[in-house]
Structure 1
């Protein structure tokens, strides 16, 4: 008989006994079937699809806090996490073999006795027995769940057809020639579906019993093994307890028949009640534990960051699928201690039901890592008062911005960009100007801030602000007219460019258009009329604290893929954007607003005078108020830490935060920094050179 005829006859038998078709070959001699030689169908291992050799099973990704142990949440389409066979209880291994393929350790991928048994049992009626081995089931599971295949390809992997069954046999025989039995068993246990959304034995152990697969008892292992045949109908969590117990009894009987356990052991297991202890793996940011609801805003920021990384795919949708199927272990930058302190201090200023929000960011200079993100809101889609989209529930990113959140006006904190642009252009810190109460600028304007068609801002407190000022004293006392004059000298477009260079993202369409097409005439930018966020502002001041090195905000410390390989995308993305001496000079001036003293003793007056004393270490920073005290802002930095906080009504910008809240915000920032830096050494800012300070001996003598 020719090889082609043998193959054709075998195909007919397989179609009838294994693929679930109506048996049309009942008269075919069984001896002929058993003598065909299954090994002739084996595919060369080298031609196996890559996904069978190294199966790309979908696995959940886990997000941890910076301590590497505190789980924030998981991301998954299929709840799955691979474990080595050595971490699966021996009784679980025996149970799955007894239930699904008792001759697993005796055959070579296709069980001839199983074929014969199924052939005999299925004659004369509908198919009642199959003969798929664990190896064949593994092949089918890989092909049907491979995330790299299309839906049509995955569907074809489970269709009832002769071609599909032949393919399974060929692949199973090839795999058995290259992989040992325990490796195949381990792969099978990690891919098979156990019902209730649990893929693989590790997820199933946690889903049904809230324990590791290494700790499964005989009764528990038998229950799980019994679920594999009909995971959707025998699921005991969703009302099919009787069916699950019946299947457990079947598996126990098979364990006794195969000699894996004694009758006494099986009887004791059979007598045990169905002792489920179900647990649900958290999925996505809405599943962050209730007592850590504030962490969900950080989680939301992490997902936005992930979806913007080209390393994970070519589109946000593809990157999200990578996260949900890739099995990554992600240790975030969220410091639980700093986050708790930040959230507590925020809630001391405003509670969750206040119409005013206090979004706050804590960032590490030199790495960009985001240590905390807090706001007095609940993450979720709960009921809110009419017209209050963000109170008390919201999923909007109030701290980092995005979607409809473009940010808030940061007022005088933007003066640092004019200061930096002037320093970079060659002006020294000792640049003097006799600041008037009001200045008529070169920029056209209309409305209340216009003087005959020119923008003419004034100082908020003339008695304290007017007079001859330098960069030190003008920044310390927040003298509007000095910085408008300085911006005129250096060019408003250079001030805007400096802000963007340091990390200010202009999300509002009007702001972005002005920056692109009208920056030269955007004089008011220097007083902080553009919208920004606490995270962007913290990034900008962190650049100064890091001596001119700007780091893109980063929500992760490490990312390890399912194979244990660390990914470079978790490394800080930093680059020098300022000359060192320029950055040091700006930091020297920024000591003044927070009650510190410059390296040259030139600070005189502060808007947050008590911050340095409360913190007890060198600090730089700035306060800011928008027009009419609509928003209030405080930002402070040490070489190790930056905190930026903004008081605003995100639902109604016409509702001002008010001037009085700024003092409470200064206390808030001081408390956060004190707690976060408690165990860190005191570090000072390096002074700039005298060349960039350029004050004379007479000025030195006067101090």
Structure 2
């Protein structure tokens, strides 16, 4: 009998330890630095306002000094009252458990110390495969022996306070509360530092069986009994006076439950419109190699890595965007009117707004009107979480004449001057593009045009001829360098190296694009030809407060949230393109003449400062666009029916994106100094 009782303890340093020594030593090394999964937080630009959280296990690591002594004492009383006497394994507890289990012919008692329990939790948290998870929790004698050995080793490495701190940050308390911070929040809406003896005893009692002793259940009988048991134990250990324990036991359990926000759909109604930017952060994150080798690994890092992420939106610009989009088309309209504002020189996203409510609840949305869609398909209004503004899998919307910027910029970068002129008839038959015969929108566009007047009036036949001179493939390639991606099968085929040279209609904007792409493409022109990748965050810090970093192909370590920019065209070409792009807005170019009229001549008056841009409409005005920019901001707005591309917005709504951009730039820049565009050199004017 004595030998049988002694065997589990002896096995730790005997045969069992020898058989598993290498594996145990390896896992113990992992446990020395193992950290449990921790919640990531998304903050507003002030770095203080929490917008939402991302987690699989709601947890915020808390130092022992920030925990009430009540919870420290309660957990010791509930789970391991000899915690401060043993060295990781309690021989008396092992013997007692063996005798009790032998008498009951089953498992009526365990012998796990707090240290052993911590080892088990840490092994689970650090597991990389389902098999490792199973090995960490399986009920076998060999697992128990390994656990004992690691507990002994851990106690040589860590102090009792360090073990207790790690334990309280790892334990599961039910209701997705992992760690004491989450438990205090979810059950009592308070911090661990303010837990009373009764509250601490209630939480400590949950670790043994979170469901059986759940204080949030309608019947608190079991929870109350378990709480009182823990209070009695605290009294026996001298942590609590008998009178204090009696007072605590006489009170009913008073919970104040909180449901922590999780993911973008949990953002409060105050910041509902910011949900689209939050969603873009997730899509952007999933494409960053810094956070893993694939999307699954990256999203796992987001939900377990304990990051602090600060959104890049500018509250003033965002408010202007929300106001000026919402005023154009109601939330319940089938036509989506959206806008994205980017910062030239950094790529930081300053605003994302669309006339939709960010919500997963599409029960009242009704069916899509697209004749090609499944009749059961829901429309995206008034509620949606679809990435209508870009950054997801949706192809976007035909962007019309806003694409004329790309062949013009390519021509300027190739050395052609702004004064390049072509006779532009109402209809032009192209020999280069196999007899394709595009026409202008108006007979008033007929005549000799330069880049200034051709861009200002949006003369199709001028830009087809310009495209013929430089090659359509150069415009396509430049658009790709400026961040555009081809998502439909038709666009991918036309943009392929074998077909791009013959893609004459490219300059007319027959391809799909997103406002996110277009805002950043035009922002590069405002930044003298320096393109910056879209950046939805101001900063990302690791759980230890250091900036999140990645290594470039050249081995240079850089912060993930720093702008990533490259020169795409020479600065003089970009300045020349801006000079021509002032013509559509009713602004005055620094060098040339716009030819008398323009397609959006109200923009300059509305913005009240130097501004450039371009309108765009598609056949039958199925969609309408405007992309405008100042030296400080670039904004792209569209209006279209995302559910049904056959549902034309009509000419009457073509001014909607024009006004949305102009008024957002005006309001977003109000009170800031007026900056001037840098004029192009005389050499590129011609």
Give the deviation of 1:563 after TM superposition.
2.8
2:11/2:145 contact within 8 Å kept: no
Residue 396 (str. 1) matches residue 377 (str. 2): no
Q: In 2, Cα distance between the equivalents of 1:323 and 1:37?
A: 41
Q: In 2, Cα distance between the equivalents of 1:328 and 1:690?
A: 50
Q: Give the aligned partner of residue 672 of structure 1.
A: 664
Alignment gaps of 5+ in structure 1:
1-25, 446-453, 695-703
Residue 361 (str. 1) matches residue 353 (str. 2): no
Match of 1:414 among 363, 382, 403: 403
Q: Give the aligned partner of residue 571 of structure 2.
A: 580
Residue 235 (str. 1) matches residue 185 (str. 2): no
Q: Give the aligned partner of residue 298 of structure 1.
A: 277
Deviations 1:113-162 (A, max 9, x none): 333443555552244333321111101111233242x2222222222222
Q: Give the aligned partner of residue 637 of structure 1.
A: 629
Q: In 2, Cα distance between the equivalents of 1:299 and 1:34?
A: 53
Give the deviation of 1:431 after TM superposition.
1.6
Q: In 1, Cα distance between the equivalents of 2:617 and 2:161?
A: 68
> Residue 584 of structure 2: SS of its match in structure 1?
helix
Residue 284 (str. 1) matches residue 230 (str. 2): no
> Residue 592 of structure 1: SS of its match in structure 2?
coil
Distance 1:688 1:39, change over 3 A: same
Which piece of structure 1 moves more, 51-60 or 290-299? 290-299
Q: In 2, Cα distance between the equivalents of 1:353 and 1:29?
A: 75
Give the deviation of 1:264 after TM superposition.
2.1
Q: TM-score, normalised on structure 1?
A: 0.89
Count how many residue pairs are aligned between Structure 1 and Structure 2.
657
Q: In 2, Cα distance between the equivalents of 1:427 and 1:38?
A: 82
Alignment gaps of 5+ in structure 2:
370-378, 549-558
Residue 328 (str. 1) matches residue 320 (str. 2): no
Q: Give the aligned partner of residue 503 of structure 2.
A: 522
Give the deviation of 1:28 after TM superposition.
4.3
Match of 1:511 among 470, 491, 516: 491
Distance 1:221 1:482, change over 3 A: same
Q: Give the aligned partner of residue 602 of structure 1.
A: 593
Q: Give the aligned partner of residue 441 of structure 2.
A: 460
1:326/1:561 contact within 8 Å kept: yes
Residue 555 (str. 1) matches residue 547 (str. 2): no
Deviations 1:517-553 (A, max 9, x none): 3212211111111111111111110110111111111
Q: Give the aligned partner of residue 581 of structure 2.
A: 590
Match of 1:93 among 54, 72, 76: 72
Residue 144 (str. 1) matches residue 124 (str. 2): yes
Distance 1:593 1:206, change over 3 A: same
Q: In 2, Cα distance between the equivalents of 1:585 and 1:674?
A: 24
Distance 1:35 1:46, change over 3 A: closer
Q: Give the aligned partner of residue 553 of structure 2.
A: none
Q: In 2, Cα distance between the equivalents of 1:600 and 1:653?
A: 40
Deviations 1:644-668 (A, max 9, x none): 0111111222221122223343222
1:196/1:237 contact within 8 Å kept: no
Residue 472 (str. 1) matches residue 452 (str. 2): yes
Residue 647 (str. 1) matches residue 627 (str. 2): no
1:39/1:173 contact within 8 Å kept: no
Q: Give the aligned partner of residue 556 of structure 2.
A: none
Q: Give the aligned partner of residue 243 of structure 2.
A: 264
Match of 2:329 among 338, 341, 350: 350
> Residue 354 of structure 1: SS of its match in structure 2?
coil
Give the deviation of 1:29 after TM superposition.
8.2
2:136/2:143 contact within 8 Å kept: yes
Distance 1:478 1:35, change over 3 A: closer
2:621/2:654 contact within 8 Å kept: no
Give the deviation of 1:341 after TM superposition.
2.6
Residue 164 (str. 1) matches residue 164 (str. 2): no
Give the deviation of 1:37 after TM superposition.
10
Q: In 1, Cα distance between the equivalents of 2:145 and 2:644?
A: 67
Residue 222 (str. 1) matches residue 213 (str. 2): no
Q: In 2, Cα distance between the equivalents of 1:507 and 1:57?
A: 39
Deviations 1:422-473 (A, max 9, x none): 112211111223322222222446xxxxxxxx2222222322x333322112
Give the deviation of 1:639 after TM superposition.
2.0
Deviations 1:256-287 (A, max 9, x none): 11111212222222233322111122222332
1:432/1:471 contact within 8 Å kept: yes
Distance 1:459 1:159, change over 3 A: closer
Give the deviation of 1:291 after TM superposition.
4.2
Give the deviation of 1:33 after TM superposition.
7.2
Distance 1:680 1:273, change over 3 A: farther
Distance 1:368 1:34, change over 3 A: closer
The higher radius of gyration belongs to 1
Distance 1:601 1:59, change over 3 A: same
> Residue 275 of structure 1: SS of its match in structure 2?
coil
Deviations 1:217-268 (A, max 9, x none): 2221111111111112212224452211111111111111111121222222
Q: Give the aligned partner of residue 650 of structure 2.
A: 658
What are the within-5 Å matches in structure 2 for residues 34-73 of structure 1? Answer: 47-73=26-52
Q: TM-score, normalised on structure 2?
A: 0.91
2:31/2:122 contact within 8 Å kept: yes
Q: In 2, Cα distance between the equivalents of 1:613 and 1:157?
A: 69
Give the deviation of 1:86 after TM superposition.
1.4
What are the within-5 Å matches in structure 2 for residues 89-128 of structure 1? Answer: 89-119=68-98, 121-122=100-101, 124-125=103-104, 126-128=106-108
Q: CA RMSD in A?
A: 2.3
> Residue 570 of structure 1: SS of its match in structure 2?
coil
Q: Give the aligned partner of residue 338 of structure 1.
A: 317
1:442/1:488 contact within 8 Å kept: no
Residue 194 (str. 1) matches residue 173 (str. 2): yes
Give the deviation of 1:583 after TM superposition.
0.8
Match of 1:252 among 231, 244, 265: 231
Match of 2:356 among 377, 386, 393: 377
Q: In 2, Cα distance between the equivalents of 1:166 and 1:546?
A: 65
2:28/2:153 contact within 8 Å kept: no
Distance 1:339 1:35, change over 3 A: closer
